[in-house]
Structure 1
Amino acid sequence: MSFYKLYDFLRDLQKNNSKDWMDENRSQYLEVRNWYIQWLDELSIELAKVDPDYHDTPGRKAINRINNNLMFHPDKPIYKDHFGAGMDLTVNGKQGDFYIQLGTQESFIAGGFYKPKKEILDSIRDAIDYNGAVYKKIISKNSFKNTFKVINDGDSLKTAPKEYSQDHEHIDLLRLKTFAVQHDLTQKDVQADDFKAKCIEVYKEMKPFRAYLNKAVTV
């Protein structure tokens, strides 16, 4: 098995996104899925070696369902066109994402908090109010800027949050509703022999960013 076959399966699924097709090809789906779970198991072991704070996340726990949630999004296809996996998962869920998505339309590694609940967002804003300069130093580092793009969904506040003044020194950050970054991948990146090593390097570069946010929501 290989990532070549993973992408081949996803392309076939995209062309034949139906339960009938999936039922006929379930053995192929399970072969690809189980292989990817094993690959994620190996990645989790390697991440634990480079980060003593990493939470062991077996591939079976990390991988997301391939079915779309049609109850809330009835207009979506039955199946996703990608495999998603969340690593470094905690029991209480108070941890910024380290997420890998491999898909026909886009592949990427992302991390942080995407549109978090109010409780989480309030904690992050409290931290920025207290020491936002530390956060800005992390995201201003050249290697960080060269590795990631900031996820901006255009949903930021137009004015200051109620608890903060309009002239706050970090008002640009306090207006945000998402604190997340993304590293885009090509299929060539994913299919390369050193892809696992690339994931580890991206994880290490993202670690201070996630550590700041994780501390903000747990302390």
Structure 2
Amino acid sequence: MNFTDLFQFLEELQQNNNKEWMDANRKWYKSLRSDFIGWLDDLDLTVAQLHSDYYPIPGKKGINRINNNLMFHPNKPVYKDHFGAGLDKAPHSADFYIEIGLKHCMLAGGFWRPDPKTLRSIRDGIDYNGEELQALLNKPSFRKLFGGLYEDEKLTNAPKGFSNDHPHIHLLRNKTFAVVHELKREEVFQKGFKEKIVEVYKEMLPFRQYLNKAASV
């Protein structure tokens, strides 16, 4: 994968964020998209070896559209400033997300603002065994890579059915249960980039498995 070419394309796209420019450069985009899909396919095969319950996602299925959804976000530009994809995502489960872009290069995973039923299941899991989740979050190697849970909107008070003096109220108030590892752009070009992805994936896996187990109840 030629990431230098990918970043150059994204930079020019953001300077000319319109359908006319994209139409004139669609051959360039399709070539990059095809290469990115091939890179994802190789990565998918690599991380599939790490655990038996891995859910294979071909690159063509995992890659996100480069168009923004203007119906729900009319003020956003026509096209995104990144290439993104989700791997190891069974239906109704936490995915492993990769983003290579101008503002952010990152590896992330978990549930971002899940639907009410899934959110309730996760909170019930924390109510039953929040100690396990807290231990995962406190693990030094986990904190080194992710810091903690992704900071997003939180409830001011306890969610319905829970008390404000619950021992894990600081977790229960979250609406998002995800973690993010920010990458520097230069890391993308390093020879060991795939090994870096594998390292982050392995450290994140028990966290995602905890969420998936809670969400499946």
Which residue of the partner structure matches residue 106 of structure 1?
Answer: 104
Same amino acid, percent of matched pairs: 53
Which one-letter code corresponds to 2:155 in the other structure? L
Which one-letter code corresponds to 1:188 in the other structure? E
Q: Deviations over 1:54-93 (max 9, x none)?
A: 1111100000000011111111111101011000121xx2
Q: Deviations over 1:9-48 (max 9, x none)?
A: 1111111111110011011101111000000000000011
Residue 203 of structure 1, CA deviation: 0.5
> Which runs of no fewer than 5 residues in structure 1 stay unpaired?
none
How many Å separate the matches in 2 of 1:193 and 1:21? 33
Which residue of the partner structure matches residue 164 of structure 2?
Answer: 166
How many Å separate the matches in 2 of 1:191 and 1:31? 19
Instruction: Provide the secondary structure at the position in 2 that maps to 1:111.
Output: strand
How many Å separate the matches in 2 of 1:74 and 1:134? 41
CA RMSD of aligned residues (A): 0.9
Instruction: Provide the secondary structure at the position in 1 that maps to 2:181.
Output: strand
Instruction: Provide the secondary structure at the position in 2 that maps to 1:143.
Output: helix
Aligned length: 216
After TM superposition, the structure 1 = structure 2 runs for residues 1-219 of structure 1, keeping only pairs within 5 Å, are 1-90=1-90, 93-149=91-147, 150-153=149-152, 155-219=153-217
Residue 116 of structure 1, CA deviation: 0.7
Which one-letter code corresponds to 1:103 in the other structure? G
What's the TM-score once normalised by structure 1's chain length? Answer: 0.96
Instruction: Provide the secondary structure at the position in 2 that maps to 1:46.
Output: helix
Which one-letter code corresponds to 1:182 in the other structure? V
Which one-letter code corresponds to 1:152 in the other structure? E
Q: Deviations over 1:119-159 (max 9, x none)?
A: 01000000000000000000100000000132112x21111
Runs of 4+ displaced beyond 2 Å: none
Q: Deviations over 1:93-124 (max 9, x none)?
A: 21112100111111101100111110010000
Which one-letter code corresponds to 2:151 in the other structure? N
Instruction: Provide the secondary structure at the position in 1 that maps to 2:84.
Output: strand
Instruction: Provide the secondary structure at the position in 1 that maps to 2:156.
Output: coil
Which one-letter code corresponds to 1:180 in the other structure? A
Residue 2 of structure 1, CA deviation: 1.0
Residue 174 of structure 1, CA deviation: 0.8
